[in-house]
Structure 1
């Protein structure tokens, strides 16, 4: 017989005639109604369960007996499961996070490698913002990779940590915009003058002079660093105007881009919160109560009035004898 095929047992024509208790290889372990174990109904009271068991045992007909052949699923066969709509949404949001996280990290790496002409000015003058950008890109990229792991494996525990890291990314993105906006809007001239005279090292001032092609802050006599192009009779102007214009433009681009990423990141956060628990069609842990778990070892015989607990406990005892 196949996995789901059922067949009726051979019974005598006279229903009231007792059947001898014997067991053959082609018959069920139970050859008569008397062999059926008492059904166990845990949701009923003890008195009601006993009376119901006696009445059901007496009222059962022999032709209601049936056998079910054990179904052994093929472990090599893989069933294709369609992704839920929420899983597609969280995958889209995580891909968006991966894209701008990778872009932010690449910008920071290329700046440290001095890939473009003014990179040295950013490294020396805006080191705090550059460190924030590097940390933001690294954490956003790592969070997106963690999200891919949780999405593909349908692992809700991993997606829980993924949601926590998304809030860290949100705070870092907002901090970049806040720091850049605050520095650009309030007394930028005084801040840059104080930085040149008190915060920068001689090596930092020399690097700014070489990159901006200037000498000193206001003129040669204002905190200059001597070089082959910066000397008393040089024709190079002071660095104040060029340094201020570059810093103002750089800060403006920084806070505009940072605040523009906030709505997109909020979309990622909200999508992750709503969809992380629905990456598959499983509800909760998908574990039925222990009382309803079945044992499919061997052939199981039962009646419409039997229960799974009865078959699980008494049925295995009959098969072992």
Structure 2
């Protein structure tokens, strides 16, 4: 009986040895297949996701494999070869936004500090346009910096804020053009005459006369404010022609610049909407557990 059991035991042992070997081989093959599977789901764009990949565990597995692949790419290749096309478009649009917002800020600040010709007249009668342009330019520069941080950190939260802030920037820039266009095209000469006679104070009339080197509105005797530079017998023209030309030039320049920036701002907004979710080449979840290798 013992011999029988020993034989049986030996047979059983002999039978188990190859099976256990196959079991270990199967585990090794399964592990290698899992690694290949992770690499495929992380980097292969033609990979068809399974139902398991759509679970939270599958998404985390795919993300980790993807990040491991990108970490290797960042070490081996220069940045300009691994940046996605969307990232380059975002960078170009953010730098463009920073450029024209900075230029508008410089012009607005120049008028506020009196560095341009007739700055005092502009600040007296069109301060709302200057303050709007200043506020829009500051918000635009902040928005561009937020976008640049999101681009270089590949952070979709920063890019989401960047996309949102672009809308009020666009609204402010358009409002500057709308206000200037409406005043310039709505019987400007009639409004200026009515304001000169009924609305302007003595100081405002004197300011226009000194800046434009004129006296009175139509002539020195027609609603003129007299001082050492302006009196009834002086040989100076009225402010009607000069003031109308100046107002038309200022307002036309304002709405032309504003409406010219509108398509550029729309391009920046469309680029942010279309490309911000592809900054690193993968549609990434906003879950806190899925971190980039740059954040780990």
Aligned twin of 1:246 = 246
Aligned twin of 1:229 = 229
Mapped partners of 2:104, 2:175: distance in 1: 14
Q: How does 1:8-23 map to 2 (within 5 A)?
A: 16-17=12-13
Distance 1:17 1:195, change over 3 A: same
Per-residue Cα deviation, 1:58-101 (whole angstroms, up to 9, x for no partner): 665376376x9xxxx9xx99736621110100111111111111
Aligned twin of 1:143 = 143
Does 1:255 find its partner at 2:216? no
Mapped partners of 1:63, 1:218: distance in 2: 104
Mapped partners of 2:245, 2:98: distance in 1: 33
Aligned twin of 1:181 = 181
TM-score for both structures, normalised by structure 2: 0.69
Aligned twin of 1:61 = 22
Aligned twin of 1:109 = 109
Q: How does 1:1-321 map to 2 (within 5 A)?
A: 16-17=12-13, 61=22, 64=25, 79=75, 82-285=82-285
Mapped partners of 1:286, 1:217: distance in 2: 64
Q: For structure 1, list consecutive stretches of 5 or more residues without a partner in the other structure.
A: 1-13, 19-31, 34-56, 291-321
Distance 1:90 1:234, change over 3 A: same
Shift of 1:15: 8.7
Q: Say if 1:124 and 1:208, in contact at 8 Å, map to a contact too.
A: no
Per-residue Cα deviation, 1:216-244 (whole angstroms, up to 9, x for no partner): 22233333333321123222222111100
Q: For structure 2, list consecutive stretches of 5 or more residues without a partner in the other structure.
A: 1-9, 32-67, 291-296
Aligned twin of 1:29 = none
Mapped partners of 1:174, 1:247: distance in 2: 20
Which stretches of structure 1, 4 residues or longer, exceed 6 Å deviation after superposition?
A: none
Per-residue Cα deviation, 1:180-236 (whole angstroms, up to 9, x for no partner): 111111210111122223333332222211110012222333333333211232222
- Which structure has more RCO (C-alpha within 8 Å, separation ≥ 6)? 1
Mapped partners of 2:222, 2:156: distance in 1: 61
More deviation in 262-271 or 119-128? 119-128
Q: Secondary structure at the match of 1:219?
A: coil
Distance 1:119 1:60, change over 3 A: same
Q: Secondary structure at the match of 1:103?
A: helix
Q: Secondary structure at the match of 1:61?
A: helix
Mapped partners of 2:252, 2:261: distance in 1: 14
Q: Secondary structure at the match of 1:227?
A: coil
Higher fraction of helix? 2
TM-score for both structures, normalised by structure 1: 0.64
How many residue pairs match? The answer is: 234
Distance 1:58 1:253, change over 3 A: same
Mapped partners of 1:103, 1:132: distance in 2: 14
